Amino acid sequence: MEDIFKDLVSILGKDRVATDIIDLFPYSRDWSPMDHDKDYLPDAVCIPRDTNDVSNIMKMAYKHYVPVVAWGGGTGMGGDNLAVKGGIVVATRAMGKFIELDKSSYTLTVQAGATIQSINDYLKPYGLWLPHDPESKPASTIGAAIMCDNDGTFGIKYGGMVDYVLNAVIVLSNGEIVRIGHRKAASTSSGYKLLWLMIGSEGTLGIVTEVTVRVFPRPEKREVMIWLTKGMDMGINALYSIHRSGIWLESAHINDGHRLDYYTLAYKERTGKPAEIPAGFDSLLAISIAGDKDVVRFSRKKITDVMLSLGSRPFENEDIVKGWWASKHTLQWERNKWSSGQRSAKFGAADVAVPPGRIMDIYQTYLELTEKYNIRRVGTAIYNSRPHVSPSISFAVYVDDHDRQSVKNFFRYVHGMSKRAIELEGTMSSYIGDGTRLRRLTPIEHGNGLDLMWKIKKAFDPENIMNPGKIFPKEYDPTDYEV
**Which listed residue (2, 3, 15, 482) binds other proteins by CB under 8 A?**
15
Strands 68-71 and 88-91, by their bridges, are: parallel
Taking CA atoms, 438 is separated from 142, 277, 480, in Å, by 24, 34, 20
The minimum distance between CB 139 and other proteins, in angstroms, equals 3
101 binds other proteins, rule: CB under 8 A: no
Which is closer to other proteins, CB of 211 or CB of 266? 266
User: Does residue 118 touch other proteins according to CB under 8 A?
Assistant: yes
- Residue 429 Rama label (left phi>0; alpha psi -120 to 50; beta): beta
Q: Are 428 and 438 in contact (CB under 8 A)?
A: yes
Is residue 201 a contact point for other proteins (CB under 8 A)? Answer: no
Of 51 and 167, which has the nearer Cβ to other proteins?
51
CB of 336 to other proteins, least distance (A): 5
CB of 343 to other proteins, least distance (A): 5
DSSP bridge pairs for 396: 349, 379
x/- track of binding to other proteins for residues 390-429 (CB under 8 A): -----------xx---------------------------
Chain-centroid distance of CA 145 in Å reads 6
Q: Which stretch binds other proteins (CB under 8 A): 31-39, 228-236, 404-412, 452-460?
A: 31-39
| Three-class SS state of 184 | coil
Binding mask 339-378 for other proteins (x = CB under 8 A): xxxxx-xxx-------------------------------
Give the 3-state secondary structure of residue 411: helix
Nearer to other proteins, 196 or 338 (CB): 338
CB of 401 to other proteins, least distance (A): 7
- Residue 431 binding other proteins, by CB under 8 A: no
Give how far the C-alpha of residue 115 lies from the chain's centroid of Cα atoms, to the nearest Å.
13
Q: Could you say whether residue 74 binds other proteins (CB under 8 A)?
A: yes
On the 0-12 / 13-18 / 19+ scale of CB atoms within 10 A, 350 is buried
**Element containing residue 155 per DSSP (H, E):** helix 155-158
Provide the H-helix boundaries in 188-292.
194-198, 232-245, 257-263, 265-271
**Residue 279 interacts with other proteins (CB under 8 A): yes or no:** no
**Helix (H, G, I), strand (E, B), or coil: what is residue 22?**
helix
Q: Which CB atom, from 13 or from 357, has the smaller least distance to other proteins? A: 13
CB 331 within 8 A of CB 258: no
In the shown chain, the binding pattern of residues 121 to 150 toward other proteins, with x for contact by CB under 8 A and - for none, equals x--------------x-xxx----------
Cα 250 to Cα 344: distance, rounded to the nearest angstrom: 35
**Amino acid at the residue 63:** K
Give the separation between CA 197 and CA 471, rounded to whole angstroms: 14
**In the window 306-345, what residues touch other proteins (CB under 8 A)?**
331, 335-336, 338-343, 345
Interface contacts to other proteins, rule CB under 8 A:
15-16, 18, 20-23, 25-31, 36-37, 39, 45, 47, 73-75, 91, 93-94, 115, 117-118, 121, 136, 138-140, 331, 335-336, 338-343, 345-347, 401-402
